[in-house]
Amino acid sequence: MPYFLTPYFYNWSSAELWVGIGLVLFFIILVVAGVPKLVAGALDAKAAKIQTDLDEAARLRAEAEALLAQIRQEKAEAEAQAAEMLAAAESDARRMEADARVRLEESLARRQQMAERKIAQAEAQATAEVKAAAVELAAAAAERILADRLAASSTDPLADEAISQIGSRLN
């Protein structure tokens, strides 16, 4: 059973009664002074501030999400562009490699032809030098043979002159 329903509570000498009366008077004074309106106003202002902060946070979140979506789209575009640039660079590298290979083959072919020409020239020059040396030796041998034959026989000035011209005519 609650204490305020007992007969002892309503005795004028009871301290609990005077505390209860003081408490009721205090609440009446608070109501008359408008404290509940002040508290309600303060709570309403606080609630309005919190609602404003929540609205601002929602707006900032929406902006952040939009910015994030934009950044993701730009990232995707940048990645696509980088992939295109990489593909173009690889294509250029393959083309340059093929061009370099063709130029190298052409250069090697030119050098081989040049070397073959130099070898052919050297062979022709050597052949010409051998022929010239053979002609000179043959002329000298013929000159000696004729000189020996003519020395054994009498000397003829016309034959001597013809023998001396043999070397110059054979070259």
pLDDT digits (tens, 9 = 90+) for 58-85: 999 999 999 999 999 999 999 999 999 9
Q: Does residue 22 carry a pLDDT above 90?
A: yes
Confidence of residue 154 (pLDDT cuts 50, 70, 90): low
Q: Which tokens belong to 2?
A: 């609650």
**Assigned token pair, 128:** 């010409």
Q: pTM for this one?
A: 0.41
End-to-end CA distance of the chain: 159
pLDDT on residue 11: 79
Element (H, E) at 146: helix 35-152
Yes or no: say if 171 and 137 are a contact pair by the CB < 8 Å rule. no
Are 164 and 144 a contacting pair, CB within 8 Å? no
Report percent pLDDT > 70 for the chain: 88
Establish how many alpha carbons lie within 13 A of residue 40's alpha carbon, considering only the half-sphere containing its beta carbon.
6
Mean per-residue pLDDT of the chain? 87
Mean pLDDT on 97-112: 94
**Residue 18 confidence (pLDDT):** 84
Q: Which residues of 151-162 are buried (b: 16+ CB within 10 A; e: fewer)?
A: eeeeeeeeeeee
Mean pLDDT of the 119-124 span: 92
Average pLDDT in the 109-119 region?
94
| Residues, the chain | 171
